[in-house]
Structure 1
Amino acid sequence: MRGIVFLVLSLLIGCDANTKLDQSPIGYIGFNGNKSWAIQFNDCTEHELRGAEKYLWFDRTLISISCYQFKSDDNAYLKNQEIQIYESPALDSPRKSINQFSELKISASGWGTFPNVYKTANGDWFRVKDGWIHLEPKDKEYVQFYKGAQSMTKKTAHDDYFYNH
């Protein structure tokens, strides 16, 4: 009997450990084409909503990107486009909406880190800190999954430009 209780407890603890995010990230969701994360404050790289959408994919609370200021009708569009977070990798699972990934960190210079991915499922499902996200074809115009850690090789040049320009 003791052996059965031990086995059941071991299985329960093992299952519980799998649901926690104690594990290391296996990759991240980043810009399509492996572009660096940087909101360009000092130059005018984005002038319209279409170009700005790649930044908005990660943070729906932004009011401007570079020289482009969102108009009120853009904001109405964006409010209907919150990020959907699912409890499990299935479209019919319970979900919630968020405006920004909790692991998204942006420095004063505009450099940031992308949301980490802890698990993948079925090719289009990715477990981030907030829950499961599903990448649809429209999402893949802007972002994709990358294995490994985000490259920080351009951060020094980016910060130097920001602080000394």
Structure 2
Amino acid sequence: MNIVFRLLVIASLVLPFAACKKEEAPQQNEAKVAPPLPTSSEQKDWKPYLEYKITPHMGGITSSPYVYFLPNTDAEDFEGKYQRQLEKLQADLGRGMTEGVMLVFASPAQEKEVEMIETAFKQVQPGTMKGVKVVFIGTPILGERVKVAVEPAGVTYIFEEAK
């Protein structure tokens, strides 16, 4: 009985401190400094930036985001990479996207990325992608073009300015 009583006393002393530490953790994450906009065409260099931009929008997402990335237009075999990325996006959209999915579009070649989005979303039937989030990271003018292309599908469109 003495042991049980001691364990209860210890637990009652430790729990308040454990709760305080949990409350402090989110405050540390909020103060995280934004990584700079990458200047390279390497997707690996964009990863921390993309994570920073999309993390606030992950609520309700049930799987890893689909990230569509194009290198700069002067990259070796850019046209081939563009075509493969377009075919992948069309195939993904053709299979259908269910609620809880996020599509992320970011690229140093923003104009070509938008062209790819506009081309691929032409095949999507209106209202068939409810509960799907589409995140475009780019300029406000291009963001408006993306919005016009994707909203008829019923997605939740999220624009993040590339800066």
Task: Settle same-fold status: TM greater than 0.5.
Answer: no
Normalization by structure 2: what TM-score?
A: 0.26
Select the structure with the greater relative contact order (CA < 8 A; seq sep ≥ 6). Answer: 1
Q: Which has the higher strand share?
A: 1
Q: Which has the higher helix share?
A: 2
Normalization by structure 1: what TM-score?
A: 0.26
